[in-house]
Amino acid sequence: MGMRIDIVDVFGRGPLGGNPLAVVHGGEHLDTAAMLRLTAWLGFSETTFLLPPDVPGADYHVRIFCPGRELPFAGHPTLGSCHAWLAAGGMPAGEAIVQQCGVGLVPIRRIEGLLAFRAPPLRKGGPLSRGELRAAIGLCHVPEAAVIEAVHADNGPGWQLLRLDSLATLLAAEPAARAPPGTDIGLIAKAPQGSDSDWELRAFFVDATGRLKEDPVTGSLNAAAALHLFGNGLAKARYVAAQGRKVGADGRVVCIEADGGAWVAGHTAMVAAGAALTI
């Protein structure tokens, strides 16, 4: 069978409410440059390539690309790729599904009827420096007085996480048009009482042309935020995060504290399956 592509919606609260992902099957012959070209042409936040595993214990290997670069890990590509792998007949060797990617092996299982991945450990944490904070608030255009804390939350993408004083401040942020390569900034604020979520997030990243763009729903940022919130007593046991309203998405991410870590779960839905690729 030749190359084919699936389109999966990830983290949506309803149909087409999440972050779309392209999953390519049968692309073992493609080199990195070809994978990057296809990713840029498709234009989604990420595109993944499902490959046979080459380390013990993995059920499949996934390479994850955003326009302009390869990522060692990303969250919505993890759940979307797993959904596509299962839909194509994949059968895990053990109780959990095990994904091989740039950060190593990532376990995936069903929780509350949703696919969930275990948040990988942070590669870098701790407070931002004064210069890093100034740069981040300048790019996001948020008042410095509204930043409760600012920390590194690097779990593959090098997220810098700013916790803000209110949902109103978060929604009022107007990011700059352009930013340095590798910029990954997340904003998070507590949702008001009576909301259908506990926290709300926004995520900004730089594309291949240097434009600062907002991601609809971001699994890696939510995973890093969950480790920070659970680890510092800012959230306990389980919470729901909303993301995407400023870009027309309606994402919901369920974060669960279990097994000494954090699990990140969300709805996944196949939008298009098995389209032939002829590149």
Q: Is 125 inside a domain boundary?
A: no
pLDDT score of 136: 98
Which domain does 170 fall in, by range? 130-260
Distance CA 43, CA 31 (A): 19
Q: pLDDT, tens digit, for every residue of 167-186?
A: 999 999 999 999 999 999 99
Concatenating the DSSP letter of every residue in 225-265 gives: HHHHHHHTTSS-SEEEEEE-GGGT--EEEEEEEETTEEEEE
- pLDDT reading at 104 higher than 70: yes
Residue 231, both tokens: 């680890």
pLDDT over 90 percentage in the chain: 97
Q: Are residues 139 and 251 in the same domain?
A: yes
Q: What is the mean pLDDT of residues 230-239?
A: 98
Q: pLDDT, tens digit, for every residue of 200-215?
A: 999 999 988 999 999 9
Q: Is 8 inside a domain boundary?
A: yes
* Strand residue runs (E) in 135-198: 147-154, 158-164, 184-190
- pLDDT reading at 105 higher than 90: yes
Q: Which residues pair with 239 in a beta bridge?
A: 255
Q: pLDDT, tens digit, for every residue of 117-172?
A: 999 999 999 999 999 999 999 999 999 999 999 999 999 999 999 999 999 999 99
- pLDDT reading at 218 higher than 60: yes
Q: Are residues 176 and 225 in the same domain?
A: yes
Q: pLDDT, tens digit, for every residue of 7-51?
A: 999 999 999 999 999 999 999 999 999 999 999 999 999 999 999
Distances (CA, A) of 43 to 153, 189, 204, 276: 25, 29, 16, 18
Q: Are residues 86 and 104 in the same domain?
A: yes
- Dihedral Cα 72, 197, 245, 223, nearest 10 deg: -10
The CATH number assigned to the domain holding 174 equals 3.10.310.10
Distance CA 63, CA 158 (A): 18
pTM: 0.95
pLDDT score of 279: 82
Yes or no: say if 216 and 249 are a contact pair by the CB < 8 Å rule.
Answer: yes
pLDDT score of 1: 57
Residue 271, both tokens: 């939008």
**Number of domain units in the chain:** 2
